[in-house]
Structure 1
Amino acid sequence: MIRNSHHIRRGAAALAAAAVGLGAALAPSAAAAPLPSVPVGALSYTVDVNKPGASPGYIYYTSGVSAAALVPGLGQALSNVPQAAPGNVVMDKSGREVWRYTPPKGQDVSNFRTQTYQGKRVLTWWQGSTVGGHGTGTDHIADEHGHVIETLSAGNGLNSDVHEFRLTPDGRALITAYREVDADLSAIGGPKNGKMYDTVASVVDVASKKVLFQWSAAQHVPLTDTTASTSSPGSAVYDPFHMNSIALDPQGNLVISMRDTSAVYDVDIHTGKIRWQLGGKHSTLALGPGVQFAFQHDAEFDGPDTIRLFNDNSSGQQTLGVSSVQWIHVDPAARRATLVRNQIHPSNLVAPAMGNAQGLPGGNTLVGWGMAPHISEFTPSGALVYDVALPMGTYRAYLEDWAPTK
């Protein structure tokens, strides 16, 4: 008991020290902008709000240093802190852990969720190593007990990246991948003989492992569209695009979010042509009042003509405002985008990385606040009905009506 108490105190001290250091490390460049939220929160999963209007079910998220890895040196500093150990975690809404998967030593996990494969509900996640703000590893599909039944890569020699592994009803997988390429970076003030990460959207048939379609950001988006001012964290390789989500639009084309261009792209899944662009330096849709987002994550359709995205509004180096979830009505024919709703956290959280939003069956929305270590649930009117503080951030969070069994 004494030893456990010592570990808890040591973990608390390490987390507190990290919080102090990060307050300076993540300070925004603009004096008037809010500070990014420190990605170190409660010592354990701590429920702060749980009102009757909250949805029943179980929270899925990943623990670990994935968030800290974006800040050079922090991941190593927290490597021996128990709260920073990587794992796939399922909690009930009272804060009781009901299931956990711990990867082999030296590996990380992320993007843990439930999906449907071959008509059955499954657990999915990414597993591997985190390098320079992206991942090199493999995607996993497991049964309801957590037994792995399929593993998948992005194909054509590419490893799976941490950011996206989305299964479609017809047996395909949407996977992000990164590859280092030689590049002339002089147009954006870099070296003529430089190196950068191209980022790739890969569509793979799960059963056969056949690559059906791949889309390269470097081949379709001008380098000068980047809003990134530095290379990847902990890397000398420039990261001008940083794809972080892939979903399908109502016509079956790809909806691609790229953090480092602050834009969402609708890509023809047959030709690779960009059909329209939302946000960024050259938005093809006119942005109506309030449609302002930057460094966003998890862009997907929430209905036939509305996109829902997590607006980080901060990269850590640059902060434009508080983070939020935005619902944006898109009208490609009229070339117009209109704000439907903008949801912030009552504590004005600012997430300098990661984050997602999930539409729930009853109309509520679950929000994972990324590096701002909170998971929240809101009603359609914006009322906060559930809120939990985490020891560290989680890439994404989901609410499901079932939990794995051992």
Structure 2
Amino acid sequence: MVRTTRRRLRTTVTGTVLALGVAVLMPQAASAQPPRPTLPVGAPTYTVEVNRPQGSPGYIYYSTGMSAAALVPGAEPLLSRLPVTAPANIVLDKAGRELWRYTPPPGQTVSNFRTQTYQGKRVLTWWQGSTEGGHGSGVDMIADEHGDIIETLSPGGDSSDVHEFRLTPDGRALITSYHEVTADLSAIGGPVDARMYDTVASVVDIATKQVLFRWSAAEHVPLTESVTDGRLPGSNVYDPYHMNAISLDPRGDLVISMRNTSTVYDVDIRTGEINWQLGGKNSGFELGPGAQFAFQHDAEFADDDTLRLFNNNSSGFTTLGVSSVQWIDLDLAARRATLARNQTHPAGLTAFAMGNAQGLANGNTLVGWGMAPHISEFSPSGELVYDAALPLGTYRAYLEDRAPTRN
């Protein structure tokens, strides 16, 4: 049952996210270690708190389940006691009524559920597999509007990672994957024979499944750009890069977001050379007031000159402020970055993982607040016109003009 009462859901404390109501607390680390993040849990059901006429018509697409805890190893036994965390792709109307659900086979989870276009037709896409060490190991799925699978995809012989599966108009797919490798991490204070995750961006021809382009973070980005070694509680594997988004810039090159360098990279899709990088330790742009960001997700161009991203502003261990959606104007010639707009949630939400923003046809913006479990819609002036609390966070959320059909 959907409730429509307005609730204050959370407050934010530096380094830790607290949820009022139900909260799953991670075991405390030793006193010499920073506190582990609290895993926030939202409303018992999908709870619509704001639904104003200025909102866009349509249907909410999101994924729920264990993939929401991918960044917090050790949370799974606690979360598995909550029946609302059963993995599923879900479509609801804006009143919160469930219209469609896909449940994966036992032992698998799903994430990044949305509609895209393939061969001129509207399709449903998502990632499916298992999560481990803050990333995913599985396959990407393309289904027709009934939910029947028509293609499965992975980059060559690799497993597809949970973070990105984006289709391009010319029949290609942008896919992330993770590889555990041995590396000398003495440059960032680690051992000379450490285990770490290299993160890879692949461009795949969907029809032939041929990998057209492969770009390794470890081959192009110095380890010293990392702002955190990326080790998660209970893990000895380092994650200095943590690629979490791939999109195309206006020229057709790759825009790659890396959470653990707090940097967005623009990569030549032919040579692999980095054209420019924004944010982090070695930004190629002079950042204007407010244009700074950290631990970001979902970087993509909103127009030819404006990059939009979800600024988490927190890793769960280090918190610099509340999370927001940022629109940053880029002057490529002068190498200046200017904050054009910054959208926060009225409750001051801080998401230590996940999150996205979607530009809508009427100029509004839909925001998935990741591990601060809300889905919101804002007008161009920043007015909150839709807001819903979720049982758990969702990696990304989307508003689409119609729901899937049933056979």
Taking structure 1 as the reference length, what is the TM-score of the superposition?
0.92
CA spacing shift, 1:105–1:301, aligned 2, 3 Å:
same
Aligned to 1:211: 211
For 2:272 and 2:278, locate their aligned partners in 1 and report how far apart those are by CA, in whole Å: 17
For 1:285 and 1:200, locate their aligned partners in 2 and report how far apart those are by CA, in whole Å: 24
**What is the root-mean-square deviation in Å for CA atoms of aligned residues?**
1.9
CA spacing shift, 1:162–1:233, aligned 2, 3 Å:
farther
Aligned to 1:67: 68
For 2:21 and 2:300, locate their aligned partners in 1 and report how far apart those are by CA, in whole Å: 37
Query: How far does the alpha carbon of each residue in 1:269-319 deviate from its partner, in whole angstroms, 9 at most, with x for none?
Result: 000000000001000011011111100000000000100000000000110
- Report the CA distance between 1:332 and its aligned residue: 1.5
Matches within 5 A, 1:275-314: 275-314=275-314
Aligned to 2:268: 268
Letter of the structure 1 residue corresponding to residue 76 of structure 2: G
For 1:178 and 1:150, locate their aligned partners in 2 and report how far apart those are by CA, in whole Å: 22
Aligned to 1:21: 25
Aligned to 2:350: 350
Query: How far does the alpha carbon of each residue in 1:59-105 deviate from its partner, in whole angstroms, 9 at most, with x for none?
Result: 00001122223223212212132111100000000000000000011
Aligned to 2:51: 50
8 Å contact kept, 1:37–1:349? no
For 1:290 and 1:284, locate their aligned partners in 2 and report how far apart those are by CA, in whole Å: 16
8 Å contact kept, 2:22–2:42? no
8 Å contact kept, 2:240–2:260? yes
Helix, strand or coil at the partner of 1:66? helix
CA spacing shift, 1:226–1:43, aligned 2, 3 Å:
same
Query: How far does the alpha carbon of each residue in 1:95-121 deviate from its partner, in whole angstroms, 9 at most, with x for none?
Result: 000000000111010000000000000
Aligned to 1:3: none
For 1:17 and 1:327, locate their aligned partners in 2 and report how far apart those are by CA, in whole Å: 33
Aligned to 1:84: 85
Asked if 1:99 corresponds to 2:100, the answer is: yes
- Report the CA distance between 1:233 and its aligned residue: 4.8
Asked if 1:110 corresponds to 2:104, the answer is: no
- Report the CA distance between 1:331 and its aligned residue: 1.3
Helix, strand or coil at the partner of 1:395? coil
For 1:177 and 1:38, locate their aligned partners in 2 and report how far apart those are by CA, in whole Å: 25
CA spacing shift, 1:362–1:36, aligned 2, 3 Å:
farther
- Report the CA distance between 1:58 and its aligned residue: 0.2
- Report the CA distance between 1:23 and its aligned residue: 11
Deviation beyond 4 Å, 4+ runs, structure 1: 15-18, 22-25, 35-38
Aligned to 1:331: 331
For 1:191 and 1:24, locate their aligned partners in 2 and report how far apart those are by CA, in whole Å: 25
8 Å contact kept, 2:188–2:229? no
Aligned to 1:167: 167
- Report the CA distance between 1:20 and its aligned residue: 5.4
Letter of the structure 1 residue corresponding to residue 72 of structure 2: V
Letter of the structure 2 residue corresponding to residue 104 of structure 1: P
Aligned to 2:148: 147
For 1:170 and 1:229, locate their aligned partners in 2 and report how far apart those are by CA, in whole Å: 37
For 1:234 and 1:86, locate their aligned partners in 2 and report how far apart those are by CA, in whole Å: 24
Aligned to 2:197: 197
Aligned to 2:15: none
For 1:24 and 1:321, locate their aligned partners in 2 and report how far apart those are by CA, in whole Å: 23
For 2:222 and 2:365, locate their aligned partners in 1 and report how far apart those are by CA, in whole Å: 35
More helix by share: 1
Letter of the structure 1 residue corresponding to residue 344 of structure 2: I
8 Å contact kept, 2:34–2:317? no
What stretches of structure 1 of length at least 5 have no aligned partner?
1-14
May I ask how many residue pairs the two structures share in their alignment?
385
8 Å contact kept, 1:37–1:350? no
Letter of the structure 2 residue corresponding to residue 221 of structure 1: V
Aligned to 1:4: none
